[in-house]
Chains A and B, each alone.
Chain A
């Protein structure tokens, strides 16, 4: 592969040119494609603020070599819902007050979507374990867990 490649992000193809191929997916998303929902903090897979889905699998984008994600479907928070029409998880975070400084929020939103798409009725312990890779230093997690539980209940009532 030469020093240019194409990433498939949120349903759109994005060309990446003149980039060092060792760059992380997080760096490319933020600095080259202008998709800033995924946040950069620890850059070593500890904090989860850079969480995205690659082919439907939740990963830390800081630990994905961007050039290795060619031909894969990358989903960021920007791809979950259109501006102005939040997803059910995003709305629940607002309604419960699960957002304080907001830095961890995009990672938590995509991790919560990932969890709720696999498990329609997660226990509190399951939610805590599944979100253990997303560090929040403001909320104490109570309202985040409440938000996830609210969505789980609402989705079950709809189905």
Chain B
């Protein structure tokens, strides 16, 4: 992925202050959610760009539901991308994992970890949409209240739904 040269002044002139504020506040979180699903930062950033473009097209930046919409869209768009990966891109994702490892890591351990993460992504792709989204949001660090807002469920139900999602996740791994 090639990023354009940084030009903050031009950026400020192109989008509304409200949208820029939303982008700056939520971009890292949106990438983080997509990254939990995809385990590939470049792909996660591509998903985040698409999510913000989708929001930009049809929603006002000051909408009260903006953050929840972005979080939910990040999870669902990343799961869509995960399911759409062909074998080649899955191999690339597995190969991307060692970038986070240190030079001192045992190569054998690193390979096992890569295979495990690949297996985890395959399980995520097979889970029901809401369960997979719930796991992605939770492990991206969202609070129960944020998950409830994103997935349009009661905050008091998030704990139960999350446990069910984790149980389904374990069953799929067996």
A and B bind: no
